[in-house]
Amino acid sequence: MALAERFVNAIGTSNMADNDQFLQFFKGFYVRANPTGLLPNQGGILYFDLIASASKATLYYRDTNADPVVSRTLDLPINSNSARYTVVEHQFDRAIDGGLQLALADTINMQPTTYIQALAGMRTAIRFPDIMAFGGEGRILAKAELVLPVHGTYYPYYVPPTQLFLFRKDANGADAFLPDQLNGIGAIDGFYRPEERAYRFNITRYIQQLLNGTLENTGVEVIPGSGGVSANRVILSGPGATETPMRLKLTFTDY
């Protein structure tokens, strides 16, 4: 009620003059869930289409200055001019999968599983410490394909991301594109294959530049697509998995 009165009192003032003035006057709503008492898989993820034409806040009031009194409405649309963002707090210590704690505690040894989670959650780092042993004269790299199988089963309502992305680290430690991405997303792939239960990446140019010494061998990091607007997550088979581990397939042409 107090907020509604604040809006009504602002009608006709400079606070309602334009969008910039209104954003200074009203910073918006902060909506959050109350997870108290929830057990694993009892919560949920809700997606709101905030820029849909029906997304808005409507103020209902009565104009007592009119004779007779008139009921009126004031629509506050949510559109591309509105500031909107998601705040996420991850509690990895509450994970029911013990492998997550193992992966977080040991980032050096080969793990049987690795984890990827959207909303600034987990990302998987992959290193190629012995890649230079495959260089040298007498053969040409024809193809390098990184294969990331999905580990085990997954909760049916939290399916694996449609696509994963690879980044390398530049000289300043910031995320940078792989040279294979210069020809577009389709060239490097990274789409989920349900029939294979795996992701595949064509990183031939990247590996070739490692072998040539053009790029520093800092490895790659895997993140989910739509990471800022979805709750996608996936558990991958790590290099230490006993069955179908993640792997780098190199195809050479001898001469």
Write the pLDDT tens digit of every residue in 154-196: 888 788 999 999 999 998 989 999 999 987 767 899 999 999 9
Query: Does residue 104 share a domain with residue 71?
Result: no
Query: Does residue 208 share a domain with residue 155?
Result: yes
Nearest to 72 by CA among 22, 19, 4: 4
Predicted TM-score of the model (pTM): 0.80
pLDDT-derived band at 129, boundaries 50, 70, 90: very high
- What pLDDT digit, counting tens, does each position of 225-244 carry? 988 888 889 999 999 999 99
Query: Does residue 119 share a domain with residue 41?
Result: no
Look at the chain and count its residues.
Answer: 255
Place of tokens 């007592």: 64
**Residue 205 corresponds to which tokens in the numbers above?**
């140019």
Query: Does residue 150 share a domain with residue 72?
Result: no
In which domain, by residue range, is 23 found? 2-77
pLDDT at 43: 78
